[in-house]
Amino acid sequence: MKKIFCYMILAAMTFGSTGCYKDKGNYDYTDIGNVVVTVSSGIHTYLVQMGQHLIIPVTVTSDVPESELKYMWEIFDENSRFREFGEGRDFDFIIRPDNYFPTFGSYSVRLRVSREIDGHTHSMYSSLITITISGGDLGLMVLHGNDTESDIGIIMDRHFLVSANAQIEERIVYNSYSSVNGAKIPGRGVFIIQQHMTGGVVPIETCNIFIRTDQAALFAGAEGMVKKGDYMDLFYSTPTSPSLNNGNLQKIQFYNNNNRCVIDDGVLFVSTGLANSRFSIPKVFTGRPNLKASKHSFIVNQNLQGLIFDENTRGFIRASLTTVGEVAPTIINSAGWGPFNPANMQADLLYLDNIGIGASGNHLGVFQEDDGTIFLGEINFNAANTSDANAFAVAKYNISRLPEFESAKFHAVGANSSTCYYATSTAVYQYAVLRESGTSDARKLMVGAEQVPFTGEITMMKILKSPVFTGISAYHRANRMMLVGTYENGVGTLHAIMIDNMTGQAESHRTFTGFGRIYDVNLKSM
């Protein structure tokens, strides 16, 4: 099968009657016979998706024997000339990107019919065909694979669209990345995230999807899933600072189109300004030259205030993350601390998320002490005086007694204290945070009176949330859509579970199957 690498999705194509177009080259344009070129189906407009195999049968009638005719497709390029890109009479290609279609837009192609006579090439041409490429698949991105290589699937379903009123033709594309780029991503998947846009302020060409595996880190265009570069391309390299990062992307977070940060092997970088600007120098925290930022550290408000957990001292600091290289952090006062000492937790941070309980901006962290004891720590980042540990450290909850908690592989929280979850390899448990008595007992996730059925190994769990910023409409099922991946007999299944924010129980349960092992999921909003 012949292949063409296109950088697009929507195609409008028309054949006209037979024509003859002169092209610079060693051709003789004398009559090669009575040749008529038509589209066999009579359909002149075609809609295609990236990676789709597009076939347009072409009928050629001639008084010349078929064996004497040759067929070549040509494209009118940026240099205002036609050049060849594929042989064959029918348009029979897989739509993929390469240098023939370098960007979104409209292109003109034609079919050349030629014949050799007395050592000279005589040619006849079809009418021009216009290919217009734009658009992209919307829904839920699924990073999945077989632990040696990964791909990106997209579940196009209205439940995964940002707007509740949006409509879409429901279907699943399992190989959205490899079908476009011709190869899968090396390694076992780690995470996938899209850089969201704010109301079209920034051109869609600057909106990217970032993919991390244990062997690779790269980014692709949000509109067409075409690979645009490797992680290292996000950094400046100068003769004096040839390598400013360690090449170990642990986390990337976006505040809006113009601000983003990455944590690279404990080193924190912040990029502000243009949406596609590169990272320059790492943040140096005054008084903390050896700070190692946890991957759970993140931006928490519109002023680029960072909640940083230092893995070396195992304590929290608060800092304004500007483009300036050196940051003066607010060190949490370790004197007179209450339920725990935020400046010296004496425990490792396993998970941290905003739960919205108590004062606005509270965060819930899962911590493990050196003796193996696991507890929840509630933190009020927006306390009036963050140098006061009593204001910063809200409450401590002992959860080691919860069933199988020592075997928990994943954690998730919704929008309030009733929606707290953990997952082992075989089950998902729900529990609630109770200020008066610590936490409720945990029980397996239920839909009505029935336990949500999970067969096989649980490979991921996540509750979808809206983007950190509000430049685009908030996801209408934020904090209510739980996604659980399972893997059994070589097949991955995604469980989409709607949860009630008041009770924490599941309201509905549906599945999407046919994937590999599922590593991570995230919204694709454009």
pLDDT tens figures, 445-497 = 988 888 898 999 999 999 998 765 544 457 788 889 999 999 999 999 999 99
Instruction: Say whether pLDDT at 349 is over 60.
Output: yes
DSSP 347-376: EEEEEEEE---SSTTEEEEEEEETTS-EEE
The encoded tokens of residue 232 equal 């290292």
Give the CA diameter of the chain: 99
Task: Please tell me the predicted confidence (pLDDT) of residue 19.
Answer: 39
pLDDT tens figures, 290-316 = 889 999 988 776 667 788 899 999 988
Task: Please tell me the predicted confidence (pLDDT) of residue 39.
Answer: 66
The encoded tokens of residue 505 equal 């129980």
pTM of the model: 0.75
Pairing of strands 491-499, 506-515: antiparallel
Closest CA to 158 of 178, 143, 138: 138
Place of tokens 């390029």: 77
Task: Please tell me the predicted confidence (pLDDT) of residue 27.
Answer: 37
Rounded to an integer, the average pLDDT of 125-151 is 83
- Long-range contact pairs involving 118-121 (C-beta distance under 8 Å, separation at least 24): 120/27, 120/28, 121/26, 121/27, 121/28
The encoded tokens of residue 15 equal 């054949």
pLDDT band at 102 (very low <50, low <70, confident <90, very high): low
pLDDT tens figures, 198-238 = 444 555 667 789 999 999 999 998 877 889 889 888 887 65
Instruction: Say whether pLDDT at 370 is over 90.
Output: yes
Q: Is 55 left (phi over 0), alpha (psi -120 to 50) or beta?
A: beta
Query: In whole angstroms, what is the distance from residue 219 CA to residue 245 CA?
Result: 17
Alpha-helix runs per DSSP H in 367-413: 389-392
